[in-house]
Amino acid sequence: MLAGKRILLIVGGGIAAHKTLDLIRRLRERGAAVRCILTRAGAEFVTPLSLAALSGDKVYGELFSLTDEAEMGHIELSRAADLVVVAPATADLMAKMAGGRADDLASTALLATDKRVLIAPAMNLRMWQHPATQANLKTLTERGVLSVGPNEGDMACGEYGPGRMAEPDEIRAAIADFFGRAAPLSGRRALVTSGPTHEAIDPVRYIANRSSGRQGHAVAVALARLGAQTTLVTGPTALADPPGIEVVHVESAADMLAACTKALPVDVAVCAAAVSDWRVAAPRNSKIKKNGGAPPKLELATNPDILASLAAAGSARPRLVIGFAAETEKVVEHARAKLAAKGCDWILANDVAPGTGTFGGAENTLHLIDAAGVDSWPRLSKEAAAERLAARIAAALAAGQAEARPT
């Protein structure tokens, strides 16, 4: 549930702030990205360096920092997350949230966010039981703010009762539960192929292409973020494995087909890999020596067609099979022909001609082609294109499920 999720963690002032260090570790172990806002009071208990080291990201704290506003404005900071978590949520922070105050970065981000908020209250039991705090809690709950805890127990002030912040694993579980309920692909299985394949000529040479794998990896992350249990089968790339996703590394097209077949059954398969069409029919076992002679003649053989194989997988066929068509001319026309030839459900066509910057670049221009026609998308970052595709997949699977239900 947490793979690929983006958490904005607001650390309030209180002795319980030290628990947020363990919370960050638990979230990142499960594939979530964590960005922190540290209040001035919170900085009395934990340091920006500790939060940055565990989150792997910059820690924000000042509303009027020219550097921070230039790099990540407070509005963007408040909306770039999938969920905002306040831990510890002190009585003061809860009062600011209920009253709509915005006098520091934390309260401003909370007022400006358009995402759900989860609070983990922590305070003295008298403060927790005070009618003002309970009224603020009621107001926040009515506005849709989620909460976890507080627990009963001994407190730093020497008293016993409700007011202890929930334990890190309880907060982590509450976050996972939120995404489980909100994830449209929860319970679904997805298979994504990515990157190039390397077809051996001899032990040191191979046939390949210019695919970076960035689009395929982004699709895997986007599907996981919507709750899908995702397997990424990737050829050789320079990209890090996305956290929280099962990654299978392969070299050749034959290896990739074997890994995809092993991953079945799945609900959706997205073939974004740029698979080599041909391989050397008889790769050498030792390095081919030049020896001043003529270049060797390489006999090529056709590689297995992974997209067509998945589309024709019989009872194991995914409910939705999606391919990519990298073209240098007549992009939509050639992609339409590929859709008919492969037997898949959708084709995403993109122009990889020299000068487009698509192969190895950060952006893509896609045309989604299905039986209904062509939907041309604007030029987007590969991550944004992946999120758009994942949302469309979720809608299609939900519609298919609805049609299958008896009326």
**CATH number of the domain that 213 lies in?**
3.40.50.10300
- Asked if residue 1 is part of any domain, the answer here is no
**Could you say which of 157, 260, 271, 344 is catalytic?**
157
DSSP state string for 183-222:
-TTTT-EEEEEESB--EEEETTEEE-----SHHHHHHHHH
Last residue of a domain, one of 127, 162, 182: 182
Model pTM greater than 0.85? no
Whether residues 90 and 142 fall in one domain: yes
Whether residue 344 lies in the annotated active site? no
Whether residues 152 and 205 fall in one domain: no
In 100-154, which ranges are continuous DSSP H helix? 105-112, 125-129, 131-142
pLDDT value of residue 406: 31
Whether residues 205 and 173 fall in one domain: no
Q: What is the CA 300 to chain-centroid distance, rounded?
A: 38
Last residue of a domain, one of 152, 182, 212: 182
Q: Residue 362 is part of which domain span?
A: 189-404
Whether residues 299 and 224 fall in one domain: yes
267-297 burial code (b ≥16 CB/10 A, e <16): bbbbbbbbbbeebbeebbeeeeeeeeeeeee
- State how far the Cα of 304 lies from the Cα of 312, in Å rounded to an integer: 13
End-to-end Cα spacing for the chain: 31
- State how far the Cα of 375 lies from the Cα of 348, in Å rounded to an integer: 9
Whether residues 91 and 196 fall in one domain: no
Q: How many domains in the chain?
A: 2
In 27-136 the beta strands, taken as DSSP E runs, fall at 33-38, 59-60, 83-89, 117-121
pLDDT value of residue 405: 30
pLDDT value of residue 407: 25
Which tokens is 344 given?
């898949």
Whether residues 332 and 242 fall in one domain: yes
Segment holding 164, helix H or strand E: strand 160-164
Whether residues 206 and 68 fall in one domain: no
Whether residues 266 and 288 fall in one domain: yes
Segment holding 405, helix H or strand E: none
For the chain, residues with pLDDT lower than 70 are: 1, 65-74, 155-158, 160-161, 182, 354-360, 401-407
